Amino acid sequence: MEHDDRRRLLVYSGGSHLELAEEVAKHLGQNLGEVDIHRFANGELYVHYLESVRGADAFVIQTHAPPVNEHIVETLIMLDALKRASARRVTAVLPFFPYSRQDKKHASREPISAKLMADLLHTAGADRVMSVDLHAGQIQGFFDFPFDHLTASPLLVDYMRSELGDDIVITAPDGGRVGVADRYSRKLGCALAIVHKRRDPAKHNVSEALAVVGDVEGRRCVLVDDMIDTGGTIAQAAEALVAEGASEVYAATTHPVLSGPAVQRLKDSPLRKVVVTNTLPVPPDKGFEKLVVLSVGQIIADAIRAVFSDESVSGIFGGEN
C-alpha cells in the first residue's frame, strides 16, 4: 500500500475580520475554505465545515475585536470542529490575542486570563498558535506547544523611513515600552526618549504622564506602543512631548483597539498622524483624518506559508520576533 504524502493547506475565517482573512488567503494564492457559521434561536453558535478537512493543515484566522468573548467562543468551536473532523494539524491565527493584558496578577484574588486563553485553545484542539505583537512576550510561555510570535515592526519601520526620514526620536509612552522603543531606535539608527508615567493598578485605563527623559526639543518624535485602547496614554504622552518642545509628534502602534473615548482623544491630541495596522478592523465610525492603517496581510501569509512548508518563521523577521 502506498501512502499519499501530499498535504493540503486550508485557510478559514471566523466572523471578526473577514477582510483581513480574505487578504491573507489572496497572498497565499487560494480562496478561504467554506464554513457555515450561524446562531441558534437562543444565541448558541453552530459551525459546520462544508468540505473534507481530513489530513489537512488547517489555519483558522480570527482576531478578537468586540464582542471579544463571543469571538473567543466562535474560535474555540471552530478549532474543536476541525480536530473532530481529523485535520492533521490545526493552527489558530489570532492577530490580536485576547486578554493579553491580563498576563500576571497585579493584586490578590485576580485571574491570569491570558493563561486561561492558552489552556482553552489547547483544549479546543489547537496544535499551534500564531499572533502579532503580544502585549507581553512571556505569554508564549503559557503554551506547551508551538507559538509563532509575529511582529508588525517591519511595516512600521518602513513607514517611518519613507514618510518621516531618519531625523526622529523614537519615544516610549511609558516604562513598559522602553524595550520596544529601543529596538525601533536601533533599527532606524535614531535617538530614544521615554515618557515617565505613573499608573494606578486599581484603576483600569487611567494613567498620568509626568516627565520626559531625553532630548526632544525641536525634534520630531514618534511614540511606539503595541496598542491604542482608550487613547489616554498616547494622548498624554504627546502633550508631554509638545510641552518639552517637540516640533511634531506621531504615534506608531500595532493594534487599533480604539475603545470608548479613544477616537475623540486622538483627534484632540497634538498628534500629526496615528499609524496602526489592520490586526483589528477599524469600523467607519472610528476612522478619522489622522489615522493611517497599514496591512499585516502579507506578514501573516508569509508566516502561514513557512509553517505549512516546515520552514523558519523567525527567518521572515531576521530573528527579531
Active site residues: 197
Q: Phi, psi (5° rounding) for residue 254?
A: -85, -55
- Classify residue 211 by burial, with Cβ atoms within 10 Å: 0-12, 13-18, 19+: exposed
Distances from the Cα of 201 to the Cαs of 206, 230, 258, in angstroms? 9, 16, 21
Q: How far is CA 174 from the centre of its chain?
A: 19
3-class SS of residue 47: strand
Q: Which residues of 170-197 are buried (b: 16+ CB within 10 A; e: fewer)?
A: bbbbbeebeebbebbbebbebbbbbbeb
C-alpha 251/C-alpha 236 separation (Å) is 12
**Apex 257 CA angle, 151 and 267, nearest 5:** 110
Residue owning grid cell 476541525: 82
